[in-house]
C-alpha cells in the first residue's frame, strides 16, 4: 500500500543512520547543516514527486474525462520547485506577477498557468495575457482590466457560500470572503461576458486550506455545476472547465488525521460525476489546485540550538537560530508543529520544553511544550512538515537573511535557494546624499 505523503510527519525517505542521525533523501541532516549552514530548509524530492504522482494516478483512476492538476505555487514559489512539479505533468496556479515570472522562468508551459488574485494589477494581467495564460476573474475590476487588453482566456471565481472548518484566516469559500463573485451576481456576470471579447471557459471556487473533511469536496461541485449549466444553456457561454480548488490538509502533529490524496480525489470526482448526471451535463475538464499537500510534508527545517533558559516549575526554553522570520505560521495562525533532535534520534525524551526563536518578540515561539531529549548548544533540532508557507511567507525581520534550501535525492543535495547575505539585505537601501558620511 502506497503511503500518502500528506499523512506522514516525516518525508518519505526519512531514516536513521548508524550515527543515530536523521537522514533525508539519503543525506545526513547534520552533514547538510555543516555544508550549507543553519538554519536550512531540506526538501525531499521523492516526497514531492510521490504526491504529484498520486494526484495524477487518482484522477486517472476515478475520472473519465480530461483533467489538470495545478500546483498552488503560493505555498512555495521558486524555479526549482515549479520545474519539478511541471516535470510530473502539473500546471501552476499563480497569484502575482512575481509568481508568474517564476513559473515562466522555470519553463512551465504558459497554457498550464492560471493567474488568480482579488486585486490584480493591469500590468500583472497584461503579462499573463501576453504569455498565453488563463485569467481567473475575481471581480468586476478584473473584468474591466482584462477586457481593456482585448481577447483573453478567462474563468470566473465564485464564492460558493461553504464555510469549512479550518482557521478563519485560511477560509476562502464562505460568503463573507474577499474572494470571488457572490452566487446571485453570476447571471449578471454571465450576461456581460456573453457579449464581450473575453473567452470564458468555466468556473472556479476554493473552500480554504488545511481541510480534513471529505464533505466539502463533494458539496462544492453541486453548487458550481448548477451555475455552469445556467451559463451554458441560458447565456450560451462555451464552458468546458471546472476548477474545484485545493485545500487538502496534511499531518503536522500526531493528532492530525487528514484523508489520503486518493480519497480526496475520489470524493471530488464523485461529486462532479454525480452532479453532472443529475443535471444532464457532459463531464467538464476538471482542475484542482493542491499546494500544501504537495510540498508541505516534503520539507524539514534544521536549526542549531543555542541558549537555554530554565524557569523552575514554569518552563524550559531552548532557543534556535531562526524563528518567525523563516516560519511565521505559529505566530500568525497558532500553527502547531513537531520536532526531533536530528543528531541524536535514539536519545530518550527528557521532558517538556518550548522551542523559541531568536527574534525580539515574546511570541516568537516555534513549538510550545514538546517532549524532547535533553539538548545542548550545537545540537540540531529539525522541525517537520515545513514546506508550505514557510519560505514563501519568510521575512527579514530583525534583518535576518533568508535561509538556504536544498533538494535532496539519492544521497545528493542540490542547492535550490542561496542563503541571503548581509549585502543582500542592503541591496535595495538608498542613502540620501545629505546623510552620507
341/384 Cα distance (integer angstroms): 11
- The pLDDT of residue 165: 47
Burial class (CB in 10 A: 0-12, 13-18, 19+), 285: middle
- The pLDDT of residue 178: 85
**Contact (Cβ atoms closer than 8 angstroms) between residue 93 and residue 72:** yes
- Beta-carbon contacts of 171 under 8 Å, excluding residues fewer than 6 positions away, are 163, 164, 177, 207, 208
For 77, how many CA atoms within 13 A lie in the half-sphere containing its CB? Answer: 21
Domain extents in the chain: 5-44+296-425, 45-295
Burial class (CB in 10 A: 0-12, 13-18, 19+), 368: middle
What is the topology classification, in CATH, of domain 5-44+296-425?
Answer: Lyase, Ornithine Decarboxylase; Chain A, domain 1 (2.40.37)
Out of 3.20.20.10, 3.30.465.10, 3.40.50.1820, 3.40.50.300, the CATH code matching 45-295 is 3.20.20.10
- The pLDDT of residue 2: 76
- What are the cell numbers at 279? 443535471
**Contact (Cβ atoms closer than 8 angstroms) between residue 311 and residue 93:** no
CB atoms within 10 A of CB 96: 17
Catalytic residue IDs: 360
Print pLDDT tens along the chain (437 aa).
578 999 999 999 999 999 999 999 999 999 999 999 999 999 999 999 999 999 999 999 999 999 999 999 999 999 999 999 999 999 999 999 999 999 999 999 999 999 999 999 999 999 999 999 999 999 999 999 999 998 999 999 999 887 544 434 334 444 567 889 999 999 999 999 998 899 999 999 988 888 888 887 778 898 999 999 999 999 999 999 999 999 999 999 999 999 999 999 999 999 999 999 999 999 999 999 999 999 999 999 999 999 999 999 999 999 999 999 999 999 998 999 999 999 999 999 999 999 999 999 999 999 999 999 999 999 999 999 999 999 999 999 999 999 999 999 999 999 999 999 999 999 999 999 999 98
- Beta-carbon contacts of 367 under 8 Å, excluding residues fewer than 6 positions away, are 330, 336, 337, 338, 339, 354, 355, 383
What is the value of pTM for the model shown?
0.94
Amino acid at each position: 500500500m502506497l503511503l500518502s505523503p500528506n499523512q506522514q510527519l516525516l518525508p518519505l525517505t526519512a531514516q536513521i543512520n548508524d550515527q543515530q542521525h536523521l537522514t533525508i533523501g539519503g543525506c545526513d541532516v547534520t552533514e547538510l547543516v555543516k555544508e550549507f549552514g543553519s538554519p536550512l530548509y531540506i526538501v525531499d524530492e521523492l516526497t514531492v514527486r510521490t504526491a504529484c504522482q498520486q494526484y495524477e494516478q487518482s484522477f486517472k483512476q476515478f475520472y473519465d474525462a480530461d483533467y489538470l492538476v495545478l500546483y498552488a505555487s503560493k505555498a512555495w514559489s521558486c524555479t526549482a520547485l515549479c520545474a519539478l512539479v511541471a516535470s510530473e505533468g502539473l500546471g501552476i496556479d499563480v497569484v502575482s506577477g512575481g509568481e508568474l515570472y517564476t513559473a515562466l522562468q522555470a519553463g512551465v508551459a504558459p497554457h498550464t498557468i492560471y493567474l488568480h488574485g482579488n486585486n490584480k494589477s493591469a500590468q500583472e494581467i497584461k503579462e499573463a495575457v501576453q504569455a498565453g495564460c488563463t485569467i481567473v476573474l475575481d471581480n468586476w475590476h478584473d473584468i474591466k482590466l482584462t477586457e481593456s487588453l482585448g481577447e483573453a482566456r478567462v474563468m470566473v471565481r465564485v464564492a460558493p457560500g461553504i464555510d469549512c472548518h479550518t482557521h478563519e484566516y485560511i477560509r476562502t469559500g464562505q460568503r463573507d470572503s474577499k474572494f470571488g463573485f457572490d452566487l446571485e451576481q453570476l447571471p449578471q456576470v454571465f450576461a456581460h461576458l456573453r457579449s464581450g471579447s473575453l473567452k470564458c471557459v468555466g468556473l472556479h471556487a476554493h473552500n480554504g486550506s488545511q481541510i480534513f473533511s471529505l464533505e466539502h469536496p463533494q458539496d462544492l461541485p453541486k453548487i458550481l455545476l448548477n451555475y455552469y449549466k445556467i451559463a451554458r444553456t441560458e447565456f450560451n457561454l462555451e464552458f468546458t472547465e471546472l476548477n474545484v480548488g485545493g485545500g487538502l490538509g496534511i499531518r503536522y502533529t500526531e493528532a492530525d488525521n487528514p484523508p489520503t490524496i486518493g480519497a480526496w480525489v475520489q470524493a471530488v470526482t464523485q461529486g462532479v460525476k454525480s452532479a453532472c448526471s443529475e443535471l444532464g451535463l457532459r463531464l467538464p475538464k476538471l482542475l484542482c489546485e493542491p499546494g500544501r499537500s504537495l510540498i508541505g510534508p516534503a520539507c524539514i527545517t534544521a536549526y542549531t540550538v543555542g541558549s537555554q533558559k530554565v524557569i523552575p516549575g514554569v518552563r524550559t526554553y531552548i532557543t534556535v537560530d531562526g524563528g518567525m522570520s523563516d516560519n511565521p505560521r505559529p505566530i500568525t495562525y497558532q500553527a502547531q508543529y513537531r520536532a526531533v533532535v536530528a543528531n541524536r534520534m535514539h536519545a530518550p525524551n527528557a521532558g517538556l520544553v518550548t522551542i523559541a526563536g531568536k527574534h525580539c518578540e515574546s511570541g516568537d515561539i516555534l513549538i510550545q511544550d514538546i517532549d524532547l531529549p535533553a539538548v545542548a548548544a550545537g545540537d540540531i533540532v529539525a522541525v517537520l512538515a515545513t514546506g508550505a508557507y514557510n519560505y514563501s511567507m519568510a521575512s527579514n525581520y530583525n534583518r535576518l537573511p533568508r535561509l538556504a534550501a536544498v533538494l535532496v535525492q539519492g544521497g545528493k543535495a542540490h542547492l535550490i535557494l542561496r542563503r541571503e547575505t548581509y549585502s543582500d539585505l542592503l541591496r535595495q537601501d538608498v542613502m540620501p546624499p545629505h546623510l552620507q558620511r
